Amino acid sequence: MSNDKLFSILDFGSSKLRLGIFKNYLNNSKFISEIDSLDNFEFKSHNEKQKQNLQDLIIKTEKEINQHMNNINVMFDCPKILFIDFSIKKDMDKIKSDNSVFKNILQEAKQIIEEKNKNYKILHIIISKYILDGIEFDNMPENIIIEEAILELKFILAPNIILDSIKELLKDNHMSINNFYNSTYVKTLNYTSYFESFDIKTFIDVGYKKTSLALYKNNKFLFLDFLPIGGDHITKDISKVLKKKYNESEILKKSLIQKEVTFINDEQNHDLLIKIIHARIEEIIDLCFKNITDIESIKNKKSILIFTGEGSKILSKNSIYLKEKYNIFDDLNFFEENCETICTSAFNYESSNNFSEAIIMPKKQRKTGLFERFFYMFSR
């Protein structure tokens, strides 16, 4: 891959570090690798184990592609990610709608969110809806005379302290960061294409120490939430109830994936293991749906609930219990993620034309006017 233009993505997963390299921005020319690495959400510069894991992965990749990576894109999740629904209304005084009008409104909205969340950085701005003189539009209308404009927006933000820690981790490897992406949003945006026959797609990603939920309606992004609970908590539950060491409990949990629970020699303890896991899963699912305020609006639609992530591999349809008010899904799916699907999600996100998102461009990539530096809306 020497002397070629590369798109590189580093994913901080719950229990793995993943690195994907795409040559000349082509999906059919790539190198993807991963390494086990727990506690990636800590993002501490003095976490020597994490620094070593990252260095090993980068060295391995650079040897494979025979090229040093100067810049990289970073994708991550953490329970401290913020999701904000925001609506902004402006009187337009009968002017004609065009790009500049909406860029001005977006810029004002962005400044309001930044002012109210000074310790956070905006990762994504998604335009849910344009409402012009009371008429709703999914896409930006042009050349319409309008008196009033409302933009319904969704913001995804990450704490500056975490972003700074990631920068420090990569600085030791002489690498700078082009863009930060939120993993749950970018991955599920890509995975929606696997479930086109459904109107409502709800993704629950069970990781090592976090669980995230993303909701789509007619392929439009609606909602995002994070919980500081994951597979690690299930392991600790097993350890506490069965009075086993943590490592033994992790082996027991993972043995269910292969349907080979040979470490418990009596049926009573096997049933208890299943009950322990189901109890925690029920709690996670209940908490995931608790903050969805418009759950009624997605009823009577063809819907699917999709589980992803390492922590979901122990699940089956028999292990999922939904309270009656959340039991609105026509189907359940356990989507098998891997290093390639995750890294390719970032590649597809970067190379696609997602017109519902206002793209926040790195300053060094473009020398343009004020609004273009913040929003590069219509050329992706």
- pLDDT single digits (tens) 53-63: 888 999 999 99
Query: pLDDT tens digit string along 277-332?
Result: 889 988 998 899 888 877 777 777 899 999 998 888 888 776 777 777 778 889 99
What is the number of domains present in the chain? 3
Q: Is 324 found in the same domain as 224? A: yes
According to the model, what pLDDT value does residue 376 have? 44
- Give the list of residues 6+ apart from residue 282 with CB closer than 8 angstroms, or none: 321
Same domain, 143 and 227: no
For the segment 224-244, the average pLDDT, to the nearest whole number, is 93
Confidence of residue 269 (pLDDT cuts 50, 70, 90): confident
Residue at a domain's end among 183, 218, 252? 183
Residue 174's H or E segment, with its range, is: none
For residue 64, give its domain range: 6-77+162-183
**More confidently predicted of 340 and 278:** 340
Residue 305 lies in a domain: yes
Residues 290 and 237 in one domain: yes
Does residue 37 lie within any of the structural domains? yes
Q: Are residues 25 and 116 in the same domain?
A: no
Residue 148: CATH number of its domain: 3.30.1490.110
From residue 239, give the alpha-carbon distance in Å to each of 37, 250, 276.
21, 8, 10
- Quick check: is 322 in a domain? yes
Asked if 123 and 18 sit in the same domain, the reply is no
Q: Are residues 142 and 252 located together in one domain of the fold?
A: no
Please give the mean pLDDT across all residues of the chain. 84
Q: What is the mean pLDDT of residues 256-281?
A: 71
Summarised one tens digit per residue, pLDDT across range 91-143 is 988 888 777 888 889 999 999 999 999 999 999 999 999 999 999 988 878 78
Q: Is residue 116 part of a domain?
A: yes
151 & 285 share domain: no
Cα 73 from Cα 186, distance rounded (Å) = 12
Distance CA 177, CA 170 (A): 8
Among 165-169, 243-247, 282-286, 372-376, which stretch is predicted with the lowest mean pLDDT?
A: 372-376
Q: Are residues 147 and 172 in the same domain?
A: no
Per-residue confidence (pLDDT) for residue 49, from 0 to 100: 79
Predicted confidence (pLDDT) per residue in 17-71, tens digit: 999 999 876 666 789 999 887 665 566 555 787 788 888 999 999 998 888 888 9
Beta bridge partner(s), residue 72: 177
Q: Judge if 286 and 261 occupy the same domain.
A: yes
Question: What is the mean pLDDT of the segment spanning 172-186?
Answer: 92
Same domain for 225 and 319, yes or no, is: yes
Give the pTM. Answer: 0.88
| 103 contact partners, CB below 8 Å, separation of at least 6 | 371, 374, 375, 377
In terms of Cβ atoms closer than 10 Å to its own Cβ (0-12, 13-18, 19+), residue 28 is exposed
User: Where are any strands of DSSP class E within 133-272?
Assistant: 135-137, 145-159, 176-182, 200-206, 211-217, 220-227
Residue 226 pLDDT > 70: yes
Residues 168, 32, single domain; the answer is yes
Residue 313 in domain: yes
pLDDT at res. 365: 45
Give domain status of residue 302, yes or no: yes
> What CATH number is attached to the domain comprising 289?
3.30.420.40
Burial of 346 (C-beta count, 10 Å sphere; 0-12/13-18/19+): buried
Whole-number pLDDT of residue 4: 59
- The answer to the question of residue 349 being in a domain is no
336 lies in some domain: no
- Mean pLDDT confidence for 144-152: 90
| Residue 171 and residue 124 share a domain | no
pLDDT of residue 195: 96
Per 3-state DSSP, the chain is made up of helix, strand and coil in percentages (nearest 5) of 40, 30, 30
